[in-house]
A and B are shown apart, each in its own frame.
Chain A
């Protein structure tokens, strides 16, 4: 019946933990599933949107830039077609043409006519470049090979970044001339630099060697691995490719790349992922924080719920144990009762015979022939003694019998005073050992109560035994009194013992509460008493003054009896 409290505590703790885990799992898994799936599809569609937007921007600007280049080329082409080489070789004519061009397009910086040997024969512009030699210049060679050429940005002879549009022109005499014009780099780059997307999105142009053709807005980021960015050979017209790369700093960047100028340049539009997908990150953060908060609240709620549930279970378990104890106690008492009844019965007849035989001897002694024998008085005294002891035996067996009769736990009408006398009779022996005197003060007008005799007996025995323990070896008195109060029958069991400290008073009816050393008391006595008295609608209360004594007051309801014989 004694359960190891450590093991018990471990059992309840693991039960609590399991319930918490179960509740969290059940409530969190669907949440995570729904949240995860929603987030996944949302992020997919959002990324697709962002990328489509980037693609549109890049495509638009690609068209702009290509148009810009084509336009410049077309301007020069028109000039070459309209005027003869002879006209163009005249510096003042050339200057006039440049001025006309610059009026419409400020992009043109200068104009020059170069002969087939690379010697600049005419020049109009802000620099002093007359008679410059371009025979070794890359653009010159390329323009001589192809019909026209738009160069990369380079420093050239003048030491400033610029690019050149060169066009081949044949005059009727069969001489080949190259018409070249420098395009203002600032004007050109502003076309690209004006592209801004969000906070970090910007664009720039690279040539095949990875050199910037326009100034990137932010001078950050490592070297670009061009192989990744360049569209594959032959697929340069394929439009825009979009990639996401991790940079050295760990932040991700989205690149939208498109080929320009027949694949010689590439237009790159880049934006930090955190910027491009900011609304996605925002939603993700929101979802994660909602998930975290709901996880916390589920944790807290399930913890308290589990605690409450397990607490309730613990209480029922304890009650069950208590009930079990009570049943066992009642069972024990019943079997003791049967045994006592058997013994009392068997003993009564022989005792009756002994007493009667002694009486018979007494009768015979009264005859005259015995009147003058020496020991007549002694005989009479001995017979009286036998008779007295016989009566004592009778009293003992009658106590046993009445105890036995009351071990049935069914409800009957009970005379409290008789019951008290019986129990006091049974306890007197124990009390004498402890030098305790038991007094009774019984109100003869107590009506019958309805209760189980064995249970009330148990209550009284418990109270008296506790009182004897409280009084201790030094001796003292226990007083049992009955009286009527407010229509209730009241039994008062008072002792002159050590009393109960106030701290313990609250708990003395709790199951398993005991102040006795381990193994000496179950801590169930008073809780069983409490259960028994509660069951029949009575109350049991305690008053105690440490050092002076304790009294237990038991009140029994008096039912207006249905079967009054």
Chain B
């Protein structure tokens, strides 16, 4: 944690929430390697606690989690810290949930399994958008 805080300047702070531990682990490793500061959470509630203490640039949220629905998490995130952009991940390709997410203020959505480069591009775009609106 201290390391990520130290590296905060110039790097994108990403909040990653997914209840699939294996996925969270490998994704945070790969994103970190690409110079992105990733804070992973397995539970949406933990992520909300973290967001209260610290601001993030971009959040990557799975739409379907055990403890909380991704859309619910999105609503709370947007209320706690409106400038943060949210990218949704969906495992079931549900167009309906995705479009609903977009109408709730999400930046974009991707379907699992997604190409890392595509995800990276979306994260960077979202960060740029956030920075410009700041």
Contacts and interface: CB of A to CB of B under 8 A. Distances in A.
**Which 8 A-B pairs rank lowest in CB-CB distance, beginning with the nearest?**
A352-B113, A356-B26, A353-B22, A352-B112, A348-B91, A355-B113, A353-B23, A401-B93
A170 interface: no
B33 interface: yes
A333 B133 CA distance: 49
A284 interface: no
Contacts of A393: 113
A90 interface: no
29 contacts: A344-B93, A345-B64, A345-B92, A348-B112, A348-B113, A351-B112, A351-B113, A352-B113, A352-B114, A353-B23, A355-B113, A356-B27, A356-B30, A356-B113, A357-B22, A357-B26, A359-B26, A359-B30, A359-B116, A360-B29, A360-B30, A363-B29, A363-B33, A390-B113, A393-B113, A394-B111, A398-B93, A398-B111, A401-B92
A445 interface: no
A402 interface: yes
B69 interface: no
A413 to B, nearest CB: 12
Contacts of B116: 356, 359
Contacts of B27: 356
A353 B93 CA distance: 17
Nearest to B103: A565
Nearest to B117: A359
Interface string B74-112: 000000000000000001111100000000000000011
A344 B64 CA distance: 14
Interface string A320-362: 0000000000000000000001001100110111111101100
B91 A349 contact: yes
Given A357-B26, A359-B116, A398-B111, A349 B93 contact: no
A344 B90 CA distance: 12
B20 interface: yes
Contacts of A344: 92-93
A360 B93 contact: no
A349 B20 contact: yes
A341 B92 contact: yes
Interface size class, chain B:
10 to 19
Nearest to A565: B99
Contacts of B112: 348-349, 351-352, 394
Contacts of A391: 113
Q: Of A341, A390, A397, A402, which is in contact with the most chain B CB atoms at under 10 Å from its CB?
A: A397
Contacts of A352: 20, 23, 91, 112-114
Contacts of A341: 92
B26 A353 contact: yes
Nearest to A390: B113
B26 A360 contact: yes
Contacts of A357: 22, 26
B30 to A, nearest CB: 5
Interface in A379-424: 390-391, 393-394, 397-398, 401-402, 405
Interface string B24-57: 0011011001000000000000000000000000
Nearest to B99: A565
Contacts of A345: 64, 91-92
A351 B116 CA distance: 14
Nearest to B96: A405
Nearest to A358: B26
A360 B93 CA distance: 24
Contacts of B30: 356, 359-360, 363
A345 B29 CA distance: 24
A358 B29 CA distance: 12
Contacts of B92: 341, 344-345, 348, 401
A193 to B, nearest CB: 117
B26 A394 contact: no
Contacts of B33: 363
Nearest to A353: B22
Contacts of A359: 26, 30, 116
Contacts of A405: 94-95
Interface string A226-261: 000000000000000000000000000000000000
Contacts of A363: 29-30, 33
Given A352-B112, A353-B20, A394-B113, 15 more contacts: A349-B112, A351-B113, A352-B20, A352-B23, A352-B113, A353-B22, A356-B113, A357-B22, A359-B30, A359-B116, A363-B29, A363-B33, A391-B113, A398-B93, A405-B95
A407 to B, nearest CB: 14
A354 B27 CA distance: 11
Contacts of A360: 26, 29-30
A206 to B, nearest CB: 118
Contacts of A351: 112-113
A354 to B, nearest CB: 8
A234 to B, nearest CB: 119
A391 B27 CA distance: 17
A132 B113 CA distance: 158
A348 B114 CA distance: 10
Q: Of A351, A359, A390, which is in contact with the most chain B CB atoms at under 10 Å from its CB?
A: A359
A10 B93 CA distance: 54
A402 B93 contact: yes
A125 B114 CA distance: 157
Nearest to B92: A345
Contacts of B91: 345, 348-349, 352
Nearest to A400: B93
Contact of A356 (B23, B64, B94): B23
